[in-house]
Chain A
Amino acid sequence: MSWVTISLSAGTMVGMAVILSYVLGWANKTFHVEVDPRVEAINNALPGANCGGCGYVGCSEYAEAVVAGEAPVNKCSVGGKSCAAALADVMGIEVKESYPYRPIVHCGAHYDDRLGRNEYYGEKRCLAANLVTDIQGCAYGCLGFGDCQVACNYDAIHVIDGLATVDYEKCIGCGACAKVCPRNIITIVPFKAEKILAVTCSNQDAGKDVMSVCKVGCIGCKACARISDLFKMDENLSKVDYDAYPLECSVELMNAVEKCPRNGIVFVGKPSAKDLAAVADEELPEVVEPDFKTTVDDTKWRG
């Protein structure tokens, strides 16, 4: 009796295994999908951060686009040059010079510089605050609630005194901040040098209107555009033409920067060795690290 049960159980399992494996084997053959081996190779070469900086949903999607010839190999800003070289190797093509793409915040106004600010009791998010008028006079500038700071997975953008500020040491250029900004003041540009010029304003209103809402915004005086062709005027706003950005900074450019009456054209990017040397003798406050070694309160009782 019992051995019949045992052998029947075994027989059931074996029978199921045979039948189901036959069905699955048939399905595997019938529903077979050809996959390019290069997709796998490119997937392995990519960093796998799935940040979406290349414009595709994830690394595997970008890999497929590269193999299909729809995307260039140097789109991955996280992997940088070595990654582009590895991808070019897989695809058997030459890689051209690629620049790291980094965000630039096109607003330079801290809380003190913004005029016409009003109390806001709503949800402390840019997305919500952007729906409300009169939070501040400027309808183009940074709101300072830090949606970009929340969106950043790399701790590379912070709201400092009401203005989103990129930490270029940490930034990998995924573009999450630019996507989330409801006022679209963050753009992703190719950094042809460690530090490049940026117009820190997005206000497209006439100069008088800008003056009434901001202490530092671009008034559209065209002073920079008259000196250098790099600056293009667009709707009362000076814009840097990053496609034509020179690799070496010229005197002409520096003149244009100095000419700006609002000091709105600034260099952004990683601090160079010269900058670090300039502040070397200044006494910087020491960073206090919390010490979690003990939680015992050793203050003496003086009651």
Chain B
Amino acid sequence: MSYLIDIILIAVGAALINNFVLYYFVGICPFIGVSRRVDMAFGMGCAVTFVISIAAFLSWTITTYVLMPGAPLSKWIAGFFVPADVAAKIDLTILSYIVYIFAIASSVQFVEMYVRKFYPPLYKSFGVFLPLITTNCAILFACLKIMGNIIGVDNPADAWDLGRSLTLAVFGGVGFTIAIVIMAGIREELDLCDIPKPFQGAAITLVVAGILAMAFMGFTGVDSGLQKALTSQAGASTAENKNADINVGMSKFIIENQPIDENIPKG
């Protein structure tokens, strides 16, 4: 149960609360570059989600089995040459960046070939942006975040498993898709607007992105509330009382506010 709650929290966190584009401001290049039309933006979002999932799978596997201190594969190989206690301490995390870029570049190449073979129209609409996913920092960011949650934890039992890592990657990609599609929708509307010359193009897009990011700040704190709600439902009896309290509080709030509501002029 707590695992499921963890997964839900990671998913909501990656997609909405700590949105890759709008909270961490990574992956801005395609966010600005391909957000001209909604259908293309959606295609780009899908491609990024796909690549990010493959890259996360690869990076989790490599980090867990090769890179981290005491990883099984490197420990086993080193065990032939040095004593076991020394072998268990061998730390290859310095390789993380180069290995991740390696994995990302390969998976992008793979996706490009796959898309070209089976979805030629999508391949055509991507054009130059598909290879550009290679340098999309959102993907490297996801890999590094996964690494941080494998190596950076104090208790080895808290290290993320493949399920959590893939959840972060997939929902990070979904969050990227949400952000870029919203952006594309806004930019399609912006085409009809009389924008001052210095603001045209990337400038107004960045301004809009900033406002969008502020709007997404509204999700802050949703995770703790969600966690509270989920855990309280898990633990039955006390939760009901709490919910009742909340309900009473809410109805009180609504009743208190009713006269004010009527004073607000309609329309």
Contact = CB atoms under 8 A, between A and B. Distances in A.
Interface of A: 1, 4-5, 8-9, 11-13, 16-17, 20, 23-24, 27-28, 30-33, 61, 123-125, 127-128
A13 B81 contact: no
Contacts of A5: 90-92
Contacts of A31: 113-114, 116-118
Contacts of A16: 62, 99, 102-103
A27 B91 CA distance: 33
B106 interface: yes
A33 B117 contact: yes
B110 interface: yes
Interface of B: 62, 66-67, 74, 77-78, 81-82, 86-87, 90-92, 94-95, 98-99, 102-103, 106, 109-110, 113-114, 116-118, 120, 124, 192, 194
Contacts of B87: 4
Contact of A24 (B62, B78, B82, B106): B106
Given A12-B99, A128-B192, A1 B92 contact: no
Contacts of B94: 9
B102 A27 contact: no
Contacts of A4: 78, 81-82, 86-87, 90
20 contacts: A4-B82, A4-B86, A8-B77, A9-B95, A12-B95, A12-B99, A13-B99, A13-B102, A16-B62, A16-B102, A16-B103, A23-B106, A24-B110, A30-B117, A31-B113, A31-B118, A33-B116, A33-B117, A61-B124, A127-B192
Contacts of A20: 102-103, 106
B106 A11 contact: no
Given A9-B92, A16-B99, A23 B110 contact: yes
A9 B109 CA distance: 24
Given A9-B95, A16-B99, A33-B117, A27 B81 contact: no
A11 B74 CA distance: 10
Contacts of A28: 113
Main secondary structure of the interface of A (DSSP, over half): helix
A252 to B, nearest CB: 48
B56 to A, nearest CB: 16
Contacts of A1: 82, 86
A1 B87 CA distance: 8
B219 to A, nearest CB: 35
A11 B80 CA distance: 14
A32 B114 CA distance: 9
A235 to B, nearest CB: 31
A61 B81 CA distance: 59
A86 to B, nearest CB: 24
B37 to A, nearest CB: 12
Contacts of B116: 31, 33
Contacts of A8: 74, 77-78, 90, 92
Nearest to A12: B66
B48 to A, nearest CB: 19
Nearest to B75: A8
Closest 4 CB pairs of A and B: A31-B117, A31-B113, A20-B106, A123-B194
A175 to B, nearest CB: 20
Contacts of A61: 124
Nearest to A17: B102
Nearest to A58: B127
Given A4-B82, A8-B74, A124 B194 contact: yes
A11 B102 CA distance: 14
A17 B102 CA distance: 8
A123 B87 CA distance: 72
Contacts of B110: 23-24, 27
A28 B81 CA distance: 38
A123 B82 CA distance: 77
B156 to A, nearest CB: 20
A90 B87 CA distance: 64
Contact of B77 (A11, A24, A127): A11
A27 B66 contact: no
Nearest to A122: B194
A8 B99 CA distance: 13
Given A23-B110, A27-B110, 16 more contacts: A8-B74, A9-B92, A9-B95, A12-B67, A12-B99, A16-B99, A16-B102, A20-B103, A23-B106, A24-B106, A27-B114, A30-B117, A31-B117, A33-B117, A33-B120, A127-B192
Nearest to A60: B124
A61 B77 CA distance: 53
Contacts of A23: 106, 110
